[in-house]
């Protein structure tokens, strides 16, 4: 199986004395804070070290970049608008650098599938540019699956008309998608992990519209502090925007094409060194939290006072989240990508109850017994990130 990811509910235990009130609030939280995290497959047991740290200086030409505004599903997922077909049918899709395929719900949803029925659905009979394909597809998730068949049509994103784009029409979806604010998913990883060898949307944009094969992902982290702000960030095709960053990019080479994977030197918290002999990491916009090996994550969570109430989920005393240590992700032997407690403590207010949890979760090893780090949106809110297929590298810069 490839291109799999798991969608975790964040089960945050709220201590309330009255039993029926406790159950009510807990159910609200479980439904509200579903979290996207991914099982990464097809990992090698011995990857060559391929770190190349560079910085970019000077003035940059932003005249050829094209921007897709992003919306936030409560800081859990980031999605944008696309259309498919002629005349255009509107959809919202989560931006996912951990997979390569595009899929949206189909008008032919299975009647009993609530997740599919509750979202916008593609109707091929209403599009004059529809080309049938009918190759079946299925993506397995921890909590279920998405399945259906491929179709081909014109897709419009950020003003680009992308002709003859093959995408998935989902007729069944896992229940975890039922309350999602978005309809489908847009994969932005390398084409070699695309299901059935389908050419990814971004590859067709590059080919048809002659832009360079670089895109960047910016999250407006101020949305959390100012609820009236609706602009949650941007997906930028053809490069990056220097107005979104402080200082130059630090680049690391992609260590294995497929996912946006690179070699990380170490993780440092005070005098504690994790990932001491280097480790592989993946940058994934489709994952909310930061995922790591169980041993390392346990060390971090114990130090910051996070208490486990399931094997994966934690809770924290919101009054004890100040004066916690910074955590440094070190690349290139010296460059520190630092997160403070303001970054890695997740806070939400529900029914006047403030809930806090650690942004660090653990995953089991892959099929080869290897542990990986996954840097999700918690990390990307602090670091504006450039994904460069032209030079097979990833750039990090402190986000404004």
284 is catalytic: yes
Q: Looking at residue 54, what is its pLDDT?
A: 39
Q: CATH fold of 242-399, please?
A: Cathepsin D, subunit A; domain 1 (2.40.70)
Closest CA to 192 of 148, 280, 262, 256: 256
pLDDT tens, residue by residue, 50-102:
333 333 434 455 667 999 999 998 888 999 999 999 999 999 999 999 999 99
Band (pLDDT 50/70/90 cuts) for residue 25 is very low
* Average predicted confidence (pLDDT) for the chain: 84
Q: Looking at residue 143, what is its pLDDT?
A: 56
Q: How far apart are CA 382 and CA 384, in angstroms?
A: 7
Residue 117's SS3 state is helix
392 is catalytic: no
pLDDT tens, residue by residue, 346-365:
988 778 888 899 999 998 87
Check 73, 75, 96, 377 and give the catalytic one.
96
| Average pLDDT of the segment spanning 257-271 | 97
Q: CATH fold of 66-219, please?
A: Cathepsin D, subunit A; domain 1 (2.40.70)
Closest CA to 2 of 148, 101, 149: 101
User: In the chain, which segments carry CATH 2.40.70.10?
Assistant: 66-219, 242-399
Q: Looking at residue 63, what is its pLDDT?
A: 62
Check 73, 153, 253, 284 and give the catalytic one.
284
Q: What is the dihedral of CA 149, 152, 154, 156, to 10 degrees?
A: 30
Q: How far apart are CA 345 and CA 357, in angstroms?
A: 6
| Average pLDDT of the segment spanning 22-38 | 41
């Amino acid at each position: 199986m490839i291109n799999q990811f798991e969608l975790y509910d964040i089960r945050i235990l709220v201590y309330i004395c009255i039993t029926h009130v406790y159950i009510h609030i807990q159910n609200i939280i479980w439904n509200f804070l579903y979290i996207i995290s991914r099982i990464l497959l097809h990992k090698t047991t011995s990857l060559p070290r391929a770190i190349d740290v560079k910085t970019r200086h000077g003035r940059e030409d932003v005249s050829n970049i094209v921007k897709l505004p992003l919306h936030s599903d409560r800081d859990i997922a980031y999605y944008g608008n696309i259309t498919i077909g002629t005349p255009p049918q509107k959809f919202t899709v989560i931006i996912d650098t951990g997979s390569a395929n595009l899929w949206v719900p189909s008008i032919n949803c299975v009647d009993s599938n609530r997740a599919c029925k509750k979202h916008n659905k593609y109707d091929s009979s209403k599009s004059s540019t529809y080309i049938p394909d009918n190759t079946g597809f299925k993506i397995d998730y921890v909590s279920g699956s998405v399945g259906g068949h491929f179709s081909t049509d014109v897709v419009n994103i950020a003003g680009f008309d992308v002709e003859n784009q093959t995408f998935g029409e989902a007729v069944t979806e896992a229940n975890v998608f039922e309350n999602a604010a978005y309809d489908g998913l847009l994969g932005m990883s390398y084409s070699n992990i695309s299901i059935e060898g389908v050419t990814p949307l971004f590859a067709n944009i590059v080919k048809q519209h002659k832009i360079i094969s670089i895109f960047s992902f910016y999250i407006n982290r101020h949305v959390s502090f100012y609820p009236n702000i609706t602009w949650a960030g941007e997906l930028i095709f053809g490069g990056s925007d220097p107005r979104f960053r402080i200082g130059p990019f630090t680049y690391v080479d992609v260590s294995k094409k497929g996912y946006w994977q690179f070699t990380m030197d170490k993780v440092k918290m005070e005098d504690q060194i994790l990932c001491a002999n280097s480790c592989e990491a993946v940058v994934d916009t489709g994952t909310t939290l930061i995922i790591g090996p169980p041993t390392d994550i346990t060390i971090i969570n114990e130090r910051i006072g996070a208490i486990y109430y399931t094997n994966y989920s934690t809770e924290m005393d919101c009054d004890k989240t100040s004066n916690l240590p910074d955590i440094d992700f070190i690349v290139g032997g010296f460059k520190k990508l630092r997160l403070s407690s303001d970054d890695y403590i997740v806070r939400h207010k529900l029914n006047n109850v403030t809930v806090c949890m650690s942004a660090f979760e653990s995953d089991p090893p892959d099929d080869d017994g290897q542990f990986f780090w996954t840097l999700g949106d918690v990390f990307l809110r602090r670091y504006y990130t450039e994904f460069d297929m032209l030079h097979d590298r990833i750039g990090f810069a402190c986000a404004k």
